[in-house]
A and B are shown apart, each in its own frame.
Chain A
Amino acid sequence: MSDLEKNRPLSPHLQVYKWQLSSLLSITHRLTSIINIAAISLICFWIISLYLGENYYKYFQIFSSSMVGKFILIGFTWSFCYHLLNGLRHLSWDFGYGYEIKIANFSGALVVVVSFFLTTALWFFI
């Protein structure tokens, strides 16, 4: 490969795109997917510590009852909620619905609002 080929920007061209709601939400979808890997790993360690016994489980309890721990867990919950709701948006596109710019912008804004509501509901009302 020549230097020129090596330095070509890779698609999706994040460096050159003009920022708009649709691209911002699409990038957030990927970002949350990566955060979700950390979150699901934590859930796995939670279950493994449950098997290992109370001595190990108590570290998880110390973490989850601390302010920092709660902040991280609520953040992870939002990340899951956003990815799930925006995923539904992607599914509707896969079935051929919701492509009009107005509808896509509306559904995008709706996803953001509902993701915060769902996170609040999961933590404080269920």
Chain B
Amino acid sequence: MMNIAVTKWIMQRATAITLVPLLIWFLSIFIDLIQKDYQTTLVFFENDINFFLSIIFLIVVFLHMKIGTSEIFEDYIQNTQYKIVANLIISLFAIILPLLTIVSLVLIKFY
């Protein structure tokens, strides 16, 4: 069994590598789509590949965000109790926001 710190270290690098192509893809489509109309954007996310990649992107980006933010807390928050609360808030945020977004994507595609 790997130490939790080692697991986090590896996960942060693995998510970073995954995000290199995904982020460039997402940024380019985002910049393109915000200059187009509502219907075009809707149709874009109904496409199987775009739907699938967007969900992967959201999960990986928020995982990377959660690990990275905890690392910053580790450096700057001295009080253990504050650190636990801060980590709890960021965990909830990293679950709720992508979840709502993924649910929206699913509803766009299937309803």
Is B16 touching A12 in the complex (CB atoms < 8 A)?
no
**Which single member of B35, B61, B105 contacts A40 (CB below 8 Å)?**
B61
Instruction: Tell me if B's interface is mostly helix, strand, loop or mixed.
Output: helix
Interface size class of A (residues with CB under 8 A): 35 or more
1/0 contact string of B13-33 vs chain A (CB within 8 Å): 100110110011011101110
Is B104 touching A48 in the complex (CB atoms < 8 A)?
yes
For the A-B complex, the count of residue pairs with Cβ-Cβ distances under 8 Å equals: 82
Is A47 touching B45 in the complex (CB atoms < 8 A)?
yes
Instruction: Tell me if A's interface is mostly helix, strand, loop or mixed.
Output: helix
Is A44 an interface residue, CB under 8 A from the partner? yes
Interface-lining segment among A50-58, A98-106, A108-116: A50-58
Is B31 touching A47 in the complex (CB atoms < 8 A)?
no
Enumerate B71-106 residues with CB–CB distance to A below 8 Å.
Answer: 72, 75-76, 78, 97-98, 100-101, 104-105
Q: Which of A37, A60, A77, A80 has the most CB of B within 10 A?
A: A37
Is A23 an interface residue, CB under 8 A from the partner? no
CB-defined contacts of B72 to chain A, threshold 8 Å: 30, 33-34
Is A123 touching B31 in the complex (CB atoms < 8 A)?
yes
Q: How many residues of B contact A (CB 8 A)?
A: 38
CB-defined contacts of B41 to chain A, threshold 8 Å: 50, 57
Is B104 touching A50 in the complex (CB atoms < 8 A)?
yes
CB-defined contacts of B24 to chain A, threshold 8 Å: 84
When chains A and B are docked, how far (Å) is the Cα of A30 from the Cα of B101?
A: 25
Is B20 touching A37 in the complex (CB atoms < 8 A)?
no
- Chain A residues in the interface with B (C-beta under 8 A): 6, 10-12, 30, 33-34, 36-37, 40-41, 43-44, 46-48, 50-52, 54, 57-58, 60-61, 64, 73, 77, 80-81, 84, 87-88, 90-91, 94, 122-123, 126
